[in-house]
Amino acid sequence: MRRMILRGMLCISCANRQYEFIRGRNAKGNPPKNLAPLNRRTIRYAVEGGGVETMTLEHSADLAELMVGVLRKTRGRISFGFNGGPPMPGATTA
């Protein structure tokens, strides 16, 4: 397993991606190519036998990145909570 940094949340390549996004350039000084926007995301989860907790990452690629981070750092059974709503803007529920 790769060494984890940033409080055990990011692997080295993900941390480098985040640094490039924040600086706006890669190690060679060029703007990074094919870099998806990194946004602030929050996820709520419950640990069996414990309470509901919240995790926020300032620069994450997607929600799966947060979920994997929670699974890495938390022991026990975990359930994730999501806000109910349409899956896409303009979509309607039946």
- Domain range annotation of the chain: 4-81
Q: What is the 3-state secondary structure (H, E, C) of 29-76?
A: CCCCCCCCCCEEEEEEEEECCCCEEEEEEEEECCHHHHHHHHHHHCCC
Position 9 scores a pLDDT of 66
Name the residue with higher pLDDT: 19 or 46. 46
pLDDT one-digit tens code per residue, 30-65? 887 766 778 888 888 999 888 888 888 888 888 888
Nearest to 5 by CA among 75, 74, 69: 69
pTM: 0.62
Per-residue CA distances from 43 to 37, 66, 82 (Å)? 18, 7, 8
Give the model's pLDDT for residue 94. Answer: 46
